[in-house]
Structure 1
Amino acid sequence: MDLQCFLCCRAALLLLLMPCGLYCMSVHILNEGPMYVIPGSSLVLEARIELGPLERISLVTWEREPESGVGSGKEILATCPGSGSKCAGKRPNVHGNMQHQKTTLQINGYSSTDSGVYAVMVTDQRGVNTTAHCIVRMYEAVHHVSVSINVSHSSLICGEAWGTDPHFSWLYERVAISQAVGTVSKDGTTLFVTRKPFCGHFTCVVSNKLGYSSASFSAAPCETEGRGTTAAVVCLVLLLLLVGGVLAFLLWRRHRQNRRGQWLHEHLDEAI
């Protein structure tokens, strides 16, 4: 009798020490958050459910609430029975699906009102809930691009207001930046100008999936080689004209003197 009691106590202790072996349900949303969704497109969230050997899914519920926590509170989007594959959406554009231990939520025609904190709550046969969360935000276009100068570091800094996933690129006189002009930081926001002198027209272009916007900075005008060549040509032409004029004047003067000497010689011959 004492041995039987000892074995029962030992078995109970093992069950208490290993609760996850029997009841250890977990749920994970596969989408990495925060997610950014383009307005008008579809939001698709997927979650995987892990069950213990004595657990079964009773109900799956998809919910959403404002990220700020201020608003109308939680909104139930769809409910899925544990034994069925179809989920009941609360709106015409909301669809849910349940297959084995994977559940999916899809919202068509995404708008700003659909942003917030999404939660998938899984209820087992004992009424115990397990929840996973994901933040979803609206994909924003690029806004208010600006370029400022840091004179002390000979650099230009490009800024953008609140666009999603902005990508920065630089142009110099409408051409991509070369090493002869400067170098760009890893994030693309700063252009370190190495060109001397610091002159010309610089443009920062910020783009994402919804388009692009740009801003420019104009330094002092550069004296290009073309202008220097033009000035040299003009000076050379003027010099040649001047030299030609002088030569023409000397030839004219010499010719006049020759004619005058000839006239005097003829006049003396007639006198004799």
Structure 2
Amino acid sequence: MDLLWFLCWRVAPLILLSPCGLWCMLVHITNEQPVHVIPGSRLDLKARIKMDPREEISMVTWEREPETGFDPVTLATCSGGSLKCAGTRPNVYANTEMREATLQINGYGRADSGEYSVTVTDRTGANSTARCIVREYEAVHHVSVSVNVSHSTLVCGEAWGTDPRFSWLHETAVVTQKVGRVSRDGTTLFVTMRPICGHFTCVVSNKLGHGSAAYAATPCESEGRGMTAAVVCLVLLLLLCGGVLAFLLWRRHKHSNRRERLEESL
């Protein structure tokens, strides 16, 4: 019991003397990271502030610095009793209300990429900071297909596009189970058809477009024979129909001539 009282008397002053007591102000950015923005579009960042009802916010500051961590730039500040916000550039807007801070940049460009931070300061001078990475949304570049003949696999690769999505075609149709199985991420095609033949195409796409690469195996003989047989059957059918039509016309003409001769003789 004496030990418990001793600990209480020791810990209580530390809690009271701490900058935020038992209630510490916290801020975090709700955007999923990293944030990718299409050039020319709008960047929207949102942060939520968690604090004790007795605390008050005195300032909110938005900054950006390169991912290397040098030369931070202030983008916007919100201060005063009503937390009025002012951006440092015409296309930068900020707002703070209902324990939520937002930053908006119109006409996003490559120079706007980097590490963004929002710092919230209360009346006592204590502050909390949250950070997130913002990068430019890149188009698909340099699609390629590599072949592992021993394992009957085709692997599709892409250089640096943002959020690439992979799909496979055999000839001009989507790959089915008869042809092979596609991995969960879509990058690998496990070919199960035997023998491996025809054209395989990997298509990589995202919000800015798509690219493709192909692998050509030996031509599928069954398809060639089927096409040839179809053409031959069509030609024979046309010849047969033409022959029947010609025979009917000849027979009709012959009977008409015989009827005319009988009439003349009578």
- Say whether the fold is shared (TM-score over 0.5): yes
Q: For residue 185 of structure 2, what is the aligned residue in structure 1? A: 187
> How many angstroms apart in 2 are the aligned matches of 1:100 and 1:193?
56
Tell whether the 8 Å contact from 2:15 to 2:21 is kept in structure 1 after alignment. no
Q: For residue 227 of structure 1, what is the aligned residue in structure 2? A: 225
Tell whether the 8 Å contact from 2:34 to 2:134 is kept in structure 1 after alignment. yes
Tell whether the 8 Å contact from 2:25 to 2:127 is kept in structure 1 after alignment. no
Deviation at 1:233, TM superposition (A): 9.0
* From 14, 26, 36, the counterpart of 1:16: 14
> How many angstroms apart in 2 are the aligned matches of 1:123 and 1:46?
17
Q: For residue 98 of structure 2, what is the aligned residue in structure 1? A: 100
Q: For residue 109 of structure 1, what is the aligned residue in structure 2? A: 107
| SS of aligned partner of 2:185 | coil
Q: Is 1:175 the equivalent of 2:143?
A: no
- Deviation string for 1:14-36 (max 9, x for gaps)? 35336555551111111121111
> How many angstroms apart in 2 are the aligned matches of 1:175 and 1:82?
63
- Deviation string for 1:47-101 (max 9, x for gaps)? 111223542211110000001235xx10000000152253100000000001131
| SS of aligned partner of 2:115 | strand
Tell whether the 8 Å contact from 1:58 to 1:83 is kept in structure 2 after alignment. yes
> How many angstroms apart in 2 are the aligned matches of 1:232 and 1:31?
59
Deviation at 1:11, TM superposition (A): 7.6
Tell whether the 8 Å contact from 1:148 to 1:157 is kept in structure 2 after alignment. yes
Q: For residue 250 of structure 1, what is the aligned residue in structure 2? A: none
Deviation at 1:226, TM superposition (A): 4.6
Max Rg structure: 1
Quick one: structure 1 residues 229 and 138, their matched pair in 2 at CA, closer, same or farther if it must change by over 3 Å?
Answer: closer
Trace 1:103-142 onto structure 2 (pairs within 5 A).
103-142=101-140
Unmatched tracts of structure 1, length 5 or more: 1-6, 238-272
Quick one: structure 1 residues 86 and 233, their matched pair in 2 at CA, closer, same or farther if it must change by over 3 Å?
Answer: closer
- Deviation string for 1:177-205 (max 9, x for gaps)? 01111110000000111111111101000
Q: Is 1:39 the equivalent of 2:39?
A: yes
Q: Is 1:218 the equivalent of 2:209?
A: no
Cα RMSD after superposing both structures: 2.5
State TM-score, norm by structure 2. 0.78
* Stretch of structure 1 that moved more, 120-129 or 140-149: 120-129
Tell whether the 8 Å contact from 1:42 to 1:108 is kept in structure 2 after alignment. yes
Quick one: structure 1 residues 74 and 233, their matched pair in 2 at CA, closer, same or farther if it must change by over 3 Å?
Answer: closer
> How many angstroms apart in 1 are the aligned matches of 2:198 and 2:92?
54
| SS of aligned partner of 2:84 | coil
AA aligned opposite 1:33: Q
| SS of aligned partner of 1:63 | strand
| SS of aligned partner of 1:224 | helix
Q: For residue 156 of structure 2, what is the aligned residue in structure 1? A: 158
Quick one: structure 1 residues 172 and 14, their matched pair in 2 at CA, closer, same or farther if it must change by over 3 Å?
Answer: same
> How many angstroms apart in 1 are the aligned matches of 2:210 and 2:228?
38
State, as a whole percentage, how many aligned pairs show the same letter: 64
Quick one: structure 1 residues 109 and 233, their matched pair in 2 at CA, closer, same or farther if it must change by over 3 Å?
Answer: closer
> How many angstroms apart in 2 are the aligned matches of 1:109 and 1:147?
36
Quick one: structure 1 residues 219 and 153, their matched pair in 2 at CA, closer, same or farther if it must change by over 3 Å?
Answer: same
Unmatched tracts of structure 2, length 5 or more: 236-266
Tell whether the 8 Å contact from 1:21 to 1:52 is kept in structure 2 after alignment. no
Quick one: structure 1 residues 99 and 89, their matched pair in 2 at CA, closer, same or farther if it must change by over 3 Å?
Answer: same
State TM-score, norm by structure 1. 0.76
AA aligned opposite 1:56: E
Quick one: structure 1 residues 229 and 74, their matched pair in 2 at CA, closer, same or farther if it must change by over 3 Å?
Answer: closer
> How many angstroms apart in 1 are the aligned matches of 2:28 and 2:167?
37
AA aligned opposite 2:12: L
| SS of aligned partner of 1:55 | coil
AA aligned opposite 1:183: R
- Deviation string for 1:90-148 (max 9, x for gaps)? 00000000113111100001111101000001112122221110111111100000001
